[in-house]
Amino acid sequence: MLIGKRGTATTAISSASADRITVRGRDLAGDLMGRIGFTEYFFLLAVGRMPTPDQRDFLDMCLVALAEHGLTPSVQAARMTLAADPAALQGAVAAGILGCGTVILGAANECRRLLTDILARTDTGGELAAMAQLVASGYRSRKVPIPGYGHPLHKPVDPRAERMLALAKARGVAARGVAAARALQVAIEAVYGKPLPMNISMAIAAVMLDLDVPAIVIRGIPILARTAGLIAHLGEEAETPIGFYLASVGEEAIQHTHGRREETAP
């Protein structure tokens, strides 16, 4: 039974025959292998064309920035999964990737939407600082976190974000996206009465927006990057296991109420 409308039954990504694999119109063995790096290949697969040098370099920088960040929840989930089934490397990687969400690691696309909204307001005549102030005030009134600002560890700045923005400025690629991100940072301090560091998710969104990188690539960056880090952790887990220890420490740290609700003072 078909659910929904039937789409056009085509794919433009790849095809394979007995003696040839074609990827986005290029011969895999003859045109791509040994000629391009994986970052370029990822862009080609997702977008259908080769990236510009700036797109390639900053996309590569994004992947390096996000691949590793210590014993994060996604890493812990992956290591515990491998401890439970040492043969299931793919299952452990999947467990870790499922922990990539808008709260941890995967906020770059939410940041892109936020910047796009601010820039759309300026396109209709609004002044950038005023529009950033309006957006910040809206988040404050709704009492919801602003994507891309604040970090539980990196204070007063996220070193990854500042490095990326500095290189974007030096390379001459920083434009409206970076300007909007900086304007929002200033507006947040004014509205909230305290500074919040711009984190790496917002820096990625701003620079990728200025480089005209499609949304699907921005969404995929955290997933692709963290996969590399997870494989490293799982290799270490196989040699020096800590997965079960992480689970035991977590259990010891939590107070068990045995189904009783804790009474609070009136």
Q: What is the number of other CB atoms lying within 10 angstroms of the CB of residue 220?
A: 18
CB 49 within 8 A of CB 205: no
- Structural domains present in the chain: 20-50 (no CATH), 108-213 (1.10.230.10)
More confident residue, 263 or 96: 96
pLDDT digits (tens, 9 = 90+) for 202-227: 999 999 999 999 999 999 999 999 99
pLDDT at 261 exceeding the cut of 70: no
Percent of the chain with pLDDT over 90: 86
224-241: buried (b, 16+ CB within 10 Å) or exposed (e) per residue?
bbbbebbbebbeebeeee
User: pLDDT (tens digit, 9 = 90+) per residue, 117-143?
Assistant: 999 999 988 899 999 999 999 999 999
Which has more pLDDT, 92 or 264?
Answer: 92
pLDDT for the residue 266? 54
Mean pLDDT computed over 2-18: 90
